[in-house]
Structure 1
Amino acid sequence: MRWMTFLLSAAVGVSALADQPSATFSGFNDWLGSEARGVRIGADGRLRLAPNLRRVAQLPEGVIWAAVPDGTGGAYLSAGTDGKLFHYVGGQMKPLGQVKGGIVFAMARLGQDLIVAPTGEGKLFRVTPSGDVKPFADIDARIVWSLAVEGDAVLVAGGAEKGAVLVQAREGSSRRLAELADETAFTAMTPDGQGGWYLGSHGRGLVLRYNRLGDHLETLMDTPFEEVRALTLVDGQLYIGADNGLTPKFSTGQLERREGYLQADTSATTRSAVIRLDKNRVPETLWQSAQSQVYALTAWKGQLLVGTGNRSRLFALPLGKARDTDPFAVVQELGTAQATAFLPVGGDLLVVGSNPAELHLLSEAQATEGTLESKILKGAPIADWGRAYLDAEAPTGTNVELQFRTGSTETPDATWSTWTPPLRSGERPALPPARFAQFRLRLSSTRGGATPIVETVSLYWAHRNLAPVWEGVDIMPPGLVITRTAPPDDIGIERVPLETQKLIPALGYMGAEKRSFRRGGQSFLFRVNDPNGDALQFTIQLVPEHGSPILLEKAWKERFFSFDTLPVPDGRYRLEVTASDAPSAPFNAVLTGTWRTAPFTVDHTPPALAELSAVPEGGGVRLKFVARDETSVLKEAAISADGEHWLQIVPEDRVFDQKEERFDVLVPREALRGDRLLVKVVDQYNNEQSAAVSLSEAGKKR
Structure 2
Amino acid sequence: MEASLLKSAASWSILILFGLAGSVRADGTKFWTSQSRSDFMSGKSEGVSILAEDALVLAPEVKMLCDTGEPFIWCMITDGKGTLYAATGHDGHVLRIGAKGDTSIVYDALEPEATALALKEDGSLYVGTSPEGRVYRLKGGAGEAGNFFDPEEKYIWSMLPAPDGGLYVSVGSPGKVYKVNDKGEGRLVLDSQEQHIISLALDREGNLLAGSSGSALLYQVDKSGTVSILYDSPLKDLRAILVDKENNLFAGAFELQSPGDQAKQMMVQQGGQSPAQNQAGEDSSSGEESPRQGRQDFILRPRPGGRGPSANSEIYFFDRDRFVTRIWRETGEAVMSLGLNSDDRALFVSRKEDNNLFAIDRLGEVALLNSFQEIEVTGFLRDSGRTLICTGNPGKIYEIGTHYRHSGTFTAKVLNAGIPSAWGRLEWEGETPANTRVFFQTRSGNTDYPDTTWSPWSQALRGLPEEKISSPARKNLQWKATLESDDVSITPSLAKITVSYLSRNRPPMISPIRLMPQGLYIRKPPLPPDDSDKGQKYPYEVAELMNNKKPGATDNPFQGKKEYQRNLRMVGWNANDANGDELLYNIHYRGIAEKTWRLLALGIDENSYILDTENMADGKYVLKVTAYDSLDNAGERAMFTERISPEFVVDNTPPAVRGLRLDKLNGGKGFEVTFETQDETSNIDRVEYALDSGDWMPIDPEDRITDSREEKYRISLPGISAGEHTVSVQVYDDVFNTVIVRRSVTLP
Tell me the TM-score normalised to structure 1 length. 0.64
Q: Which amino acid aligns with 1:476?
A: M
Q: Measured at CA, do residues 431 and 241 of structure 1 come closer, stay the same or move farther in structure 2, by a change above 3 Å?
A: farther
Alpha-carbon offset, residue 141 of structure 1 = 7.6
Look up the match of 1:308: 350
Which residue of 332, 337, 344 maps to 1:295? 337
Q: Which residue of 2 aligns with 1:638?
A: 688
What displacement does 1:241 show? 7.4
CA shift in 2, pair 1:335/1:240, >3 Å: farther
User: Which residue of 174, 182, 185 corresponds with 2:185?
Assistant: 174
Instruction: Describe the shift of the 1:10–1:672 C-alpha distance in structure 2 as closer, same or farther (beyond 3 A).
Output: farther
**Mapped pair 1:359 → 2:359:** no
Deviation at 1:569, TM superposition (A): 1.1
1:332 counterpart = 2:370? yes
Q: Quote the residue 1:124 is aligned against.
A: 135
C-alpha spacing 1:41/1:559, structure 2 compared with 1 (3 Å): closer
Aligned mates of 2:369, 2:740 — CA distance in 1: 92
C-alpha displacement of 1:77: 0.7
Question: Residues 253-308 of structure 1: CA distance to partner in whole angstroms, max 9, x if unpaired?
Answer: 43899999xxxxxxx99826799xxxxx999xxxx766796825488999999453
Amino acid at match of 2:731: V
Structure-1 separation of matches of 2:479 and 2:6 = 26
Map 1:47-446 to 2 at 5 A.
47-48=57-58, 50-53=60-63, 64-67=73-76, 75-78=86-89, 85=92, 99=111, 105-107=115-117, 115-118=127-130, 123-124=134-135, 135-139=147-151, 144-147=156-159, 155-158=167-170, 164-168=177-181, 170=183, 173-176=184-187, 187-188=199-200, 201-202=210-211, 229=240, 242-245=250-253, 251-254=263-266, 271=315, 295-297=337-339, 306=348, 308-309=350-351, 311-314=354-357, 332-335=370-373, 338-342=376-380, 351-354=389-392, 358-359=395-396, 361-362=398-399, 370-374=408-412, 386-389=424-427, 393=432, 401-405=439-443, 412=449, 414=451, 417=454, 420-426=457-463, 427-430=467-470, 438-443=478-483
Question: Which of the numbers 589, 593, 598 marks the counterpart of 1:546?
Answer: 593
Q: Is the 8 A contact 1:231 1:239 kept in 2?
A: no
Cα distance between partner residues in 2 of 1:628 and 1:302: 92
Identity of aligned residues (%): 20
Structure with bigger strand share is 1
1:523 aligns to what? 570
CA contact (8 A) 2:520 2:570 kept: yes
Instruction: From the superposition, tell whether residues 478 and 296 of structure 1 become closer, same or farther in structure 2 (CA, over 3 Å).
Output: closer
Whole-Å separation in 1 of the counterparts to 2:459 and 2:265:
44
Task: Give the corresponding residue for 1:574.
Answer: 622
- Letter in structure 2 aligned against 1:453: P
Q: Using the TM superposition, give the Cα deviation of residue 656 of structure 1 relative to its aligned residue in structure 2, in angstroms.
A: 1.9
Kept in 1: contact 2:202–2:209 (CA 8 A): no
Partners in 2 of 1:408 and 1:92 — Cα distance?
53
- AA matched with 1:78: G
**C-alpha separation in 2, matches of 1:672 and 1:549:** 61
Distance 2:6 2:369 in 1: 17
SS state at 1:656 partner: coil
Q: CA deviation at 1:633?
A: 1.9
2:734 maps to: 684
Task: Name the residue aligned to 2:603.
Answer: 555
Q: Select the residue among 677, 682, 685 that pairs with 1:627.
A: 677
SS at match of 1:254: helix
Give the whole-Å Cα distance in 1 for the aligned partners of 2:738 and 2:248: 88
Shift of the 472–115 alpha-carbon distance from structure 1 to 2, 3 Å rule, reads same
Q: 1:653 aligns with which of 700, 703, 711?
A: 703
Q: Distance in 1 between matches of 2:695 and 2:168?
A: 97
Answer yes or no: is the 8 Å Cα contact 1:632–1:685 preserved in 2.
Answer: yes
Per the TM alignment, residue 572 of structure 1 is displaced from its structure 2 partner at its CA by: 0.5
Q: Distance in 2 between matches of 1:40 and 1:638?
A: 81
Work out the CA distance in 2 between the residues paired with 1:29 and 1:683: 61
1:211-253 deviation per Cα after TM superposition (whole angstroms, max 9, x unaligned)? xxxxx9999xx999997946699xxx68987224259997354
For the Cα contact (< 8 Å) 2:689–2:727, is it kept in 1?
A: yes
CA distance in 1, matches of 2:570, 2:383: 80
Cα gap change, 1:511 to 1:343, in 2 (>3 Å): closer
Gaps of 5+ in 2: 9-14, 271-304, 527-557
3-state SS of paired residue (2:720): helix
Aligned length: 617
Separation of aligned partners in 2, 1:273 and 1:178:
25
Q: Indicate yes or no: 2:527 matched with 1:477.
A: no
Determine if contact 1:189/1:231 at 8 Å carries over to the other structure: yes
Q: Which residue of 2 aligns with 1:461?
A: 500
Q: What secondary structure, in the 3-state scheme, does the structure 2 residue paired with 1:271 have?
A: strand
Amino acid at match of 1:636: R
Q: 2:649 aligns with which of 564, 581, 601?
A: 601
Change over 3 Å in CA distance of 1:613–1:223 after alignment to 2:
closer
Change (3 A) 1:392 1:576: same
Unaligned runs of 5+ in 1: 211-215, 261-267, 276-280, 318-326, 487-509, 698-702
Give the deviation of 1:623 after TM superposition: 3.9
C-alpha distance in structure 1 between counterparts of 2:93 and 2:218, whole Å = 32
Contact 2:6–2:52, Cα closer than 8 Å, also in 1: no
Aligned CA-pair RMSD: 6.4
CA contact (8 A) 1:38 1:52 kept: no
Partner of 2:283: none
1:505 alignment partner in structure 2: none
* Structure 2 SS opposite 1:674: strand
Cα drift, residue 598 of structure 1: 1.0
Shift of 1:566: 2.5
SS at match of 1:574: strand
Residues 409 and 163 of structure 1: CA distance in aligned 2, closer, same or farther (over 3 Å): farther
TM-score of the superposition, structure 2-length normalised? 0.61
CA distance change for structure 1 residues 431 and 629 in 2, over 3 Å: closer, same or farther? Answer: farther
Please list, as runs of the form range in 1=range in 2, the aligned pairs for 1:24-39 lying within 5 A after superposition.
25=35, 34-39=43-48
Equivalent position amino acid for 2:425 in 1: R
CA distance in 1, matches of 2:231, 2:711: 90
Q: Which amino acid aligns with 2:688?
A: A
SS in 2 for 1:670: coil
Contact 2:455 2:472 in 1 (8 A): no
Task: Return the index of the structure with the highest Cα Rg.
Answer: 1
SS of alignment partner, residue 542 of structure 1: strand
Say if 1:538 and 1:443 are closer, same or farther in 2 by CA, change over 3 A: closer
